Amino acid sequence: MKRLLRSAGVASLLLPVLLAGPTPAHSQLPDEFTNLQVLPEDMPPRQLVGVMRGFAVGLGVRCWYCHVGEEGQPLSEYDFASDDKPEKRKARFMLEMSMQLNDDILPGIAEFAERAEPGLRVQCVTCHRGVPLPRQIQDIVTQTAAADGVDAAIAEYRALRERHYGTAAYDFGEQPLIDAAGELSDDPAAALAVFDLALEHFPESIQALVGSAQVHQVQGDADAARAALLRAQEIQPNNPQIMRMLERLGNP
Ligand code: HEC
Ligand code: HEC
């Protein structure tokens, strides 16, 4: 597994870190590292800490997420060399993967067309955006709805929004909820609940109003469908799709 880091590789891993903070954590670490399998064995401590901070910031975690040690414990008491935690073993695999992407795979674009200028390098944060498991929010909603029901999915959405709103972790815009509701269309009650969640945050969402109208129609609830469409028409009086749907529904 041992391979040499090209210098550009190390530099790219370091980049987010130089901005990340001044604490001299490296002074609390061992001078010699005994279990570096991917990074160069003789990496200077200051540089290694920089790479590690990049991991931590990229995933929105602390050192103990991967290493044997506890929050609040001095770093000097951590067992950094241990591979006991599966998170560390996964992170090592990810490090290899990122290096292969940057050093072996992405340069291959040049065979087909010029590369972007200035060049980009894949970092942990490129995929992880500050969370350990880089799932899309619409997938979280549909997967939790399938496993534990739509109420659990909505509770999870609210909790994630509370915690991560304003960061790059998840897209709390309108579209992922519309997509999730669409995915849930086999379960009309679940789809409606997710459209309602979208409307709670985006009361003028034409997509959510028209989407709920369609689900109400499928359920045979013409009154509810009409009400949603009339609300949509207040917002967009000249939208031809809304006019057509209202015509087709006829008068109450
Ligand atoms: C996302 C997981 C992850 C996080 C978070 C993380 N590390 Fe690491 N760390 C690793 C991996 C993986 C290695 C081994 C790299 C290799 O094999 O080349 C490692 C190796 C080390 C080593 C070398 C241990 C040895 O003797 O071989 C030290 C020291 C270290 N990390 C310190 C830290 C510090 C300090 C933090 C918090 C700022 C931190 N790490 C955060 C995954 C992580
Ligand atoms: C190309 C996208 C991508 C990059 C770059 C990437 N990861 Fe990941 N990472 C993923 C995906 C996708 C998963 C989920 C894998 C799975 O299905 O178990 C994941 C999972 C992980 C996990 C396990 C999380 C868990 O709860 O199971 C760790 C730890 C991790 N990555 C660390 C890193 C570190 C550290 C880096 C940078 C060196 C990195 N990743 C770079 C996409 C990426």
Over the stretch 100-127, which tens digit does the pLDDT of each residue have?
A: 999 999 999 999 999 999 989 999 999 9
The closest residue, in CA terms, to atom 29 on ligand 1 is: 80
Q: Does 9 score more than 60 pLDDT?
A: no
CA 145 to chain centre: 18
Distance CA 129, CA 60 (A): 8
Ligand 1 pocket: which of 33, 67, 95, 97 to mutate (most atoms within 8 A of CB):
67
Over residues 69-74, the mean pLDDT reads 93
Amino acid at 66: C
Binding site membership of 56 for ligand 1 (Cβ less than 6 Å): yes
Binding site membership of 160 for ligand 1 (Cβ less than 6 Å): no
Over residues 60-87, the mean pLDDT reads 96
Q: Minimal CA–CA distance to 136: which of 101, 180, 98, 166?
A: 180
Q: Minimal CA–CA distance to 65: which of 49, 48, 78?
A: 78
Over the stretch 35-45, which tens digit does the pLDDT of each residue have?
A: 999 999 999 99
Contacts of 238 by beta carbon, 8 Å cutoff, 6+ apart = none
Atom of ligand 1 nearest to the CA of 91: 12
Binding site membership of 94 for ligand 2 (Cβ less than 6 Å): yes
Domains and CATH numbers, the chain: 7-128 (no CATH), 137-249 (1.25.40.10)
N-terminal to C-terminal alpha carbon distance within the chain: 71
Give residue 13's pLDDT band: very low, low, confident or very high (50, 70, 90): low
Amino acid at 76: S
Residue 195: HSE in the Cβ half-sphere, 13 Å Cα cutoff: 24
Over residues 21-39, the mean pLDDT reads 80
Contact criterion met (CB below 8 Å) for 211 and 180: no
Distance CA 105, CA 101 (A): 5
Atom of ligand 1 nearest to the CA of 53: 38
Q: Does 17 score more than 70 pLDDT?
A: no
Longest dimension (CA), the chain: 80
Between residues 4 and 55, the one the model is more confident about: 55
Of all residues in the chain, the percent with pLDDT exceeding 90 is: 85
The closest residue, in CA terms, to atom 12 on ligand 2 is: 134
Contacts of 151 by beta carbon, 8 Å cutoff, 6+ apart = 193
CA distances from 164 to 134, 167, 190, 194 (A): 13, 6, 24, 19
Distance CA 87, CA 57 (A): 15
Over residues 148-176, the mean pLDDT reads 98
What is the CA(110)–ligand 1 centre distance, in A?
33
Over residues 198-205, the mean pLDDT reads 98
Amino acid at 108: G
Binding site membership of 96 for ligand 2 (Cβ less than 6 Å): no
> Six-digit token pair at 6?
């090209």
pLDDT value for 10: 53
Neighbours of 107 (CB within 10 A): 12
Mean pLDDT computed over every residue of the chain: 91
Give residue 15's pLDDT band: very low, low, confident or very high (50, 70, 90): very low
Ligand nearest to the CA of 134: 2
Binding site membership of 4 for ligand 1 (Cβ less than 6 Å): no
Q: Minimal CA–CA distance to 239: which of 216, 195, 207?
A: 207
What pTM did the predictor assign?
Answer: 0.89
